[in-house]
């Protein structure tokens, strides 16, 4: 089973809320998209959404989050303008889509935006906004993996919050082997069933999560 950032029951809330956040900040407050991305990913709001805090993704509206991000990062208090918007803008889709991918991958927004620019996301909108969200996930996954080159073992271990030494002690797998799997000096796909099972059991994931495709 894939390890996600937080409970799935909050995903749709996070998507619609972040969609409204991006739409409001960029289209109503007139903050350029690339600038708002930088403000958002350095704010405490991004980190709280990454953790799936209900007080943020359920307790705040997208407009409130936009206001909080702008106040925290620029020191400016923007006037709240309520608008009835029947259509979903490109900016709404961008916020909606990245919220899903962050939940799905458990990666930080800071990592995501090292790979995806606002212009990249706008171009993706035209071909993907009517497609299933899994298509967006596949494309972004490919870009992320190409950029970071982390193995699944390292990514899941870091997410789990343990060091290589701790993983070795808890799983019974040698520290040097873990280091070599993470550095791709040994192919984890060729590890014994016992080895990969013990790693997966310790990290609370499945064997399939650790296999490199």
Supply the pLDDT for residue 2.
Answer: 59
2 vs 20, 103, 158, 181, CA distance in Å? 27, 11, 15, 20
Listed residues 128, 148, 168: the one ending a domain:
148
76 with 51, same domain: the answer is: yes
112 with 170, same domain: the answer is: no
15 with 96, same domain: the answer is: yes
Query: Higher confidence at residue 108 or residue 121?
Result: 121
Q: How far apart are CA 95 and CA 73, in angstroms?
A: 18
Q: State which of 18-32, 70-84, 179-193 shows the largest mean pLDDT.
A: 18-32
Based on the structure, what is the number of domains in the chain?
2
Supply the pLDDT for residue 204.
Answer: 94
Residue ranges in the chain assigned as alpha helix (H):
11-23, 33-42, 44-50, 54-57, 62-74, 90-105, 109-115, 118-128, 133-148, 152-160, 164-171, 175-182, 193-203, 207-210
53 with 144, same domain: the answer is: yes
pLDDT (average), residues 80-109: 88
Q: Is the dihedral of CA 132, 133, 137, 139 positive or negative?
A: positive
pLDDT (average), residues 100-126: 93
127 with 94, same domain: the answer is: yes
pLDDT in tens, 10-69: 999 999 999 999 999 999 999 999 999 999 999 999 999 999 999 999 999 999 999 999
Listed residues 148, 176, 197: the one ending a domain:
148
Q: How far apart are CA 16 and CA 97, in angstroms?
A: 9
140 with 161, same domain: the answer is: no
Note whether residue 2 is domain-resident: no
Supply the pLDDT for residue 43.
Answer: 96
95 with 186, same domain: the answer is: no
135 with 194, same domain: the answer is: no
Query: Does 84 score more than 80 pLDDT?
Result: no
29 with 120, same domain: the answer is: yes
Note whether residue 53 is domain-resident: yes
CATH classification at residue 196: 1.10.260.40
Listed residues 148, 169, 200: the one ending a domain:
148
Residue 4 binned pLDDT confidence (cut-offs 50, 70, 90): confident
Tell me the residue range of the domain where 175 lies. Answer: 152-210
DSSP 189: G
Mean pLDDT over the full length of the chain: 92
Query: Does 71 score more than 90 pLDDT?
Result: yes
106 with 141, same domain: the answer is: yes
Q: How far apart are the first and last CA of the chain?
A: 15
Residue 89 binned pLDDT confidence (cut-offs 50, 70, 90): very high
12 with 71, same domain: the answer is: yes
Residue 196: which residues within 8 A CB-CB, separation 6 or more?
Answer: 188, 207, 210, 211
Query: Does 188 score more than 60 pLDDT?
Result: yes
156 with 52, same domain: the answer is: no
Note whether residue 1 is domain-resident: no
Query: Does 109 score more than 70 pLDDT?
Result: yes
Note whether residue 158 is domain-resident: yes
Prediction pTM value: 0.74
Q: Distance of alpha carbon 11 from its chain centroid, rounded?
A: 12
Q: How far apart are CA 167 and CA 33, in angstroms?
A: 41
């Amino acid at each position: 089973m894939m390890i996600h950032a937080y409970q799935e029951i909050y995903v749709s809330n996070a998507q619609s809320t972040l969609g409204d956040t991006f739409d409001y900040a960029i289209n109503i407050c007139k903050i350029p998209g690339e600038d708002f991305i930088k403000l958002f990913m350095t704010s405490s709001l991004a980190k709280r959404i990454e953790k799936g805090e209900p007080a943020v993704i359920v307790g705040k509206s997208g407009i409130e989050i936009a206001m909080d991000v702008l106040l925290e990062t620029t020191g400016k208090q923007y006037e709240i303008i309520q608008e009835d918007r029947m259509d979903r803008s490109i900016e709404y889709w961008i916020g909606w889509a990245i919220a899903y991918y962050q939940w799905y991958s458990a990666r930080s927004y800071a990592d995501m935006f090292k790979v995806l620019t606002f212009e990249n996301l706008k171009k993706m909108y035209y071909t993907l906004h009517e497609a299933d969200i899994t298509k967006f996930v596949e494309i972004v996954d490919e870009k992320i993996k190409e950029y970071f080159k982390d193995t699944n073992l390292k990514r899941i271990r870091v997410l789990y919050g343990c060091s290589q030494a701790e993983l070795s002690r808890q799983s019974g797998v040698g520290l040097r082997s873990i280091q070599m799997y993470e550095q791709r000096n040994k192919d984890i796909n060729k590890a014994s069933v016992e080895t990969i099972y013990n790693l997966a059991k310790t990290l609370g994931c499945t064997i399939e999560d650790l296999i490199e495709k």
